[in-house]
Structure 1
Amino acid sequence: MTHHTTQSPQFFLTAPSPCPYIEGQFERKVFTHLVGDKAPEMNDLLTQGGFRRSQNIAYRPACESCRACVSVRILAGEFQATKNMRRVIQRNSDLIGAMHDAEPSTEQYSLFRRYLDARHRKGGMSDMTVLDYAMMVEDTHVDTKIIEYRKRGPDSFITGRGQGELIAVALSDKMADGMSMVYSYFNPDFEDRSLGTFMILDHIARARAAGLPHVYLGYWVNGSRKMSYKVRFMPQEHLGPRGWERYEHEAV
C-alpha cells in the first residue's frame, strides 16, 4: 500500500492525450492525492501553486510544448462590477443561494444532466451516471460546499433558503485565502439570466463578506472562446514563472 503524507506527497504524470482547448495539441497533467487530515492544508498550498481539485485528486497541466493554460484568481476585495455585471445581478435578484455541506441529491443530478445534454453533449463528462455525480460531490477530504440557487420564497429572509425549483448549483472549496470554484451548472432554459456570471459574482460577494481575498477560477486559455469569460472579472492575478502577477485587461 502506498502512503501519502503532507511532508512528502507523491506526484504522478499522465500520458499525453488530445487537448480539449487547442486543436492539434496534446495535454499532460501532473497530479497527486488529497487524502487524510492534512488534505485541506495541502489543497490550499497546491491551489496557490496552480493546481485544481477533482474529487480527491489535485492536478495541474504539465504539457511539454505549451503553456497556454494559466491559473486565474479574482481579487475579491478590489473587485468592482461592470455595468453589464450589475444588470446580471439585478436580473437574478429573485434568486437566493443556500450553502451547505457537499451532499448530492437526485434533484441536483437531474439539473446536472439537463445542463450536460444541452451544453456539453460531446464533452468528457457527458456519460456521467448518478453514481459518478455523487462521487464528484462527495469524494473530497477538504472543506467543500454546495450552493443551491432557487427563487426567493416568502420566508427567505427568515430561513435563508429559497423555494421552488433548483435553477443553478455551484460546487466550491473553502480555503484559508479564498474560495475555489470546482464546478457549476444551471438550467439551460434560463440562459438569458447569465447564471454562470451570476454565480461567479455571488462567490466574489461571499469571499468579500468572509474577509477572503481570492476567488479561484481555474485555468484561462488565451484564444479559447469557452474560457474567455474568466478575464472579465477584474482586477485579477495570473500565475506565471515569477508567481502571481496582476493581469491588466479591460473588463466589459
Structure 2
Amino acid sequence: MSELPRSTPQFYLTAPTACPYLPNKYERKVFTHLVGDKASPLNDILTQGGFRRSQNIAYRPACDRCRACVSVRIMVDAFEPSRSHRRVLNRNKDILGQAFQPRPTAEQYSLFRDYLDARHAEGGMADMSVLDYAMMVEDTYVDTEVVEYRRIGPDTFITGRGEGPVLAVALTDRLSDGLSMVYSFYDPELAERSLGTFMILDHIERARRLGLPYVYLGYWVKGSPKMGYKSKFLPQEHLMPEGWTRVDTLDGE
C-alpha cells in the first residue's frame, strides 16, 4: 500500500460534543493540521472553503443533520459604514491599531483574562492559562499578526505608535484574498466604545488599503445571540452549497 506524502493534509473527525451556539444540539468538527512550508497556501484554500484556524489546526463543522453554522466574509469594496458604524468610528478616533509579529505579552494576557472573565466566564476558553494564550498566538505556521489598539498620544504622529495601555487586540491571518479575524478581545470596562465593532471596521479599512476583497468573520448562526453582531456588516457573502453567495439583508437579525 502506498503512503501519502507528508505534504498531503489528512483530515480527522471529532466526537460529538455539546453545541456552544444552539441548545440541545451537538457539534462535530472535521480538522487537519497546518504545518510546514505549505501551511499558508493550505490555510488560504481551507478558509475559502469554510474552515477556521485555531493555532496549527484548521477546522470546520461537520454536524449530523445540522447546517446552522454559515461561513461569512465581508465584501470590502461594497461595504459602506452605517450611521451606527460612523458613530463607533467617531467614538474611537483617538485609538490607533498597530500590527506586530505574533508574539504574546503579559499585557495582552492580562487583557485577555479580563475579557474572558467578564464576557465568557462559562465558555470553553475560560480556563486558558498564560501558556495556553501564548500557544494561541505564536503556535502558527501561517502569515499572521497581532494588532494592538492603544490611544493616540502627542508623539504618535512622529513614532506611528499608540500610547498607554493596550485596549483591544486582534489575532489576524493575512490570506491571498483577505484578512481573517481569528480571535479578538478588548477591555470589558470600555463597553461604550463598542471596540469589537471598531476592530472589524478597522480590519475592513486595512483590507481595503492592502487591495484585499474580503474580511473573514468565521461562522454566523441565525438565532444565536453570540453571533448577532456579524449580521451588521453588509453586504457580505455566505458559503452555501452552491458556493459563496452575496447577502444584502438578514431577516430576523
Where 1:98 maps in the other structure, the secondary structure is: strand
Distance in 2, matches of 1:117 and 1:160, equals: 32
What is the alpha-carbon distance in structure 2 between the residues aligned to residue 4 and residue 190 of structure 1?
50
Query: What is the TM-score normalised by the length of structure 2?
Result: 0.96
Query: Where does residue 160 of structure 2 map in the other structure?
Result: 160
**RMSD across aligned C-alpha pairs, in angstroms?**
1.5
Instruction: Give the drift of 1:5.
Output: 4.1
Change (3 A) 1:107 1:4: farther
Pair 1:21 & 2:26 matched:
no
**Superposition deviation, residue 160 in structure 1:** 1.5
* Conservation of the 8 A alpha-carbon contact between 1:36 and 1:141: yes
Cα deviation, residue 158, structure 1: 2.0
Percent identity between the two aligned chains: 64
CA distance in 2, matches of 1:167, 1:38: 34
- Output the amino acid matched with 1:59: Y
How far off is 1:3 after superposition?
Answer: 7.8
Q: What does residue 192 of structure 2 align with?
A: 192
- Describe the superposition over 1:34-71 as per-residue Cα deviations: whole angstroms up to 9, x where unpaired: 00001000000000000000000000000011000000
What is aligned with 1:122? 122
The answer to whether 1:244 aligns with 2:250 is: no
- Deviation, 1:237, is 0.2
- Cα distance in 1 for partners of 2:56, 2:5 equals 12
Match of residue 11 from structure 2: 11
Residues in 2 aligned to 1:224 and 1:184: alpha-carbon distance in whole angstroms: 19
Between the aligned partners of 2:5 and 2:140, the Cα distance in structure 1 is 15
Q: Which one-letter code corresponds to 1:164 in the other structure?
A: G
In 2: Cα distance, 1:166 partner to 1:55 partner: 22
1:156-206 CA distance string (max 9 Å, x none) = 122211001110000000111000000000000100000000000000000
CA contact (8 A) 1:4 1:10 kept: no
The answer to whether the 8 A contact 1:100-1:146 is kept is yes
Q: Superposed, which structure 2 residues align to 1:110-149 within 5 Å?
A: 110-149=110-149
Give the aligned partner of residue 220 of structure 2: 220
Secondary structure of the residue aligned to 2:97 is strand
Structure 2 CA distance for aligned equivalents of residues 240 and 250 of structure 1: 15
Paired with 2:46 and 2:5, the residues of 1 have a C-alpha distance of 15
- Structure 1: segments with no counterpart, 5+ residues: none
* One-letter amino acid matched to 2:235: P
1-structure distance, mates of 2:248, 2:13: 33
Gaps of 5+ in 2: none
Q: Distance in 2 between matches of 1:56 and 1:166?
A: 26
Call closer, same or farther: CA 1:4–1:165 in 2, change over 3 Å: farther
2:86 matched residue in structure 1: 86
CA shift, 1:248, in A, is 2.3
- Number of positions where the alignment pairs a residue of Structure 1 with one of Structure 2: 250
Rounded Cα–Cα distance in structure 2 between residues aligned with 1:16 and 1:162? 44
Matched, 1:64 2:68: no
What TM-score does the superposition give when structure 1 sets the normalisation length?
Answer: 0.97
